[in-house]
Amino acid sequence: MDVSYEGTKREIGTDKGVIRYHEACAVDGRHEHGDCDRPVLILLHGSGPGVNGWRNYRGNLGFFAETHHTYIVEFPGFGVSDPVEGHPVLTAGGSVIRFMDALDIASAAMIGNSMGGVVGINLAVKHPERVEKLVTIGGVGPNLFSSSPSEGLRLLQEFTDAPDRDKLVRWLNSMVFDRSIVTDDLIEERWAAANDPDAQKTAAMMYGSKAFAMMQEFQANSDTPPYWAMMHKVKCPTLLTWGRDDRVSPPDMSLVPMRLIPNAELVVFPNSGHWVMIEAKDAFESSVRAFLTR
């Protein structure tokens, strides 16, 4: 379908600042937005240097807009939507609910990449009436056989503690199976975005050495179970997607959510790292469409 998805960016005010997003719905070969009589699909992005929703999903928006009224939500603290106080994973979940309320979206299917998958899991547990179906891309569950932190997370931590371009390149290379994806343009785009003050603050809260040490201590001394221990409460149909060569979230992590989530399916894509929606684009989109439209 010959549809342009440039110029899809919108914004909406909430009681905790402006949330920016992308919106698309393809109708009879035309790009439409607003009044679109299609099931709603919300795309939730991951974390890391220079990340945002558009960079995660710009290559997939057109495909999903053919069957769904599709939104890419930009989480607070990543240099696009207005920042809010609090831990980024928790503020991301709250922003999704505020976004849905502002647009009068009662419930939706959701796709979450990495951190976005954790956000989706938490929403499905705490607000089950808002999540109709859930697709995750890596990132959910505990490390069973692989080391923790993984190679990719250690490289991310090194970059966060003392950012420089070479560390960014090493981290980007750990995200993919095919290193040709890490082009000079991608490096420059991510380097420029990673220098945003809000993005740096968010990264330090999530991946800095001090933050990681505090989280380890909290988990060791807390009576609060980790999010993955609550995954048996996810009632919606769930599709877990994974790259077989993921060095950020190794595929052994998929075993716990596959077992705990009652209605979970697992698809593993060969020759793909952490960015399945990019490296295994056609197979990923085909699998997700079959799941969403079943």
Residues with catalytic annotation?
A: 274
Question: With contact defined as beta carbons under 8 Å apart, do 239 and 265 qualify?
Answer: yes
User: Could you give the residue ranges of the DSSP H alpha helices within the chain?
Assistant: 53-57, 61-65, 88-102, 115-126, 151-161, 165-174, 184-194, 197-207, 209-221, 255-260, 276-279, 281-293
What is the Rg, in whole angstroms, of the alpha carbon atoms belonging to the chain? 18
CA dist 43 and 113 (Å) reads 8
Q: What is the DSSP string of 32-51?
A: E-SS--S-EEEEE---STT-
**Closest-CA residue to 124 (of 240, 22, 210, 219):** 240
CA dist 176 and 154 (Å) reads 15
CA dist 36 and 3 (Å) reads 15
Q: For Cα atoms 89, 250, 163, give the angle at the middle one, nearest 5 degrees.
A: 60
What are residue 43's phi and psi, to 5 degrees? Answer: -100, 125
